[in-house]
Amino acid sequence: VILDMIMPRMSGGETFDHLSGINPDIKAILSSGYSINGQAQSILKRGCRTFLQKPFTIRSLSRKIREVLDLTEGA
């Protein structure tokens, strides 16, 4: 799952918390144009797998997806 920090109905953090309540092993990437500090860091500590700074390229998105899949496949 790729989450944005700021979304219309629920924030990225709220969405992550909701999804991880359904599936604690959710594979989520958090994306934002804001710094990783603060709220993003808090979401990562709660189990979100990685952070992708905006703007990003398809190549960097692909790398992050591979990184998350490799982490979970090796577990």
22-63 pLDDT, tens per residue?
999 999 999 999 888 888 999 999 999 999 999 999 999 999
CA–CA separation, 75 and 52 (whole Å): 22
Put simply, whether the predicted model's pTM sits higher than 0.75 gets the answer: yes
pLDDT of residue 74: 63
The CATH number that applies at residue 21 is 3.40.50.2300
Residues whose CB is less than 8 angstroms from the CB of residue 67 and which lie 6 or more positions away in sequence, other chains included: 49, 50
Domain extent for 64: 2-73
- Establish whether the linkage from the previous residue to 55 is cis, with ω within 30° of 0: yes
Half-sphere exposure (CA, 13 Å, Cβ side) for 35? 2
Number of domains the chain is built from: 1
CA–CA separation, 63 and 40 (whole Å): 19
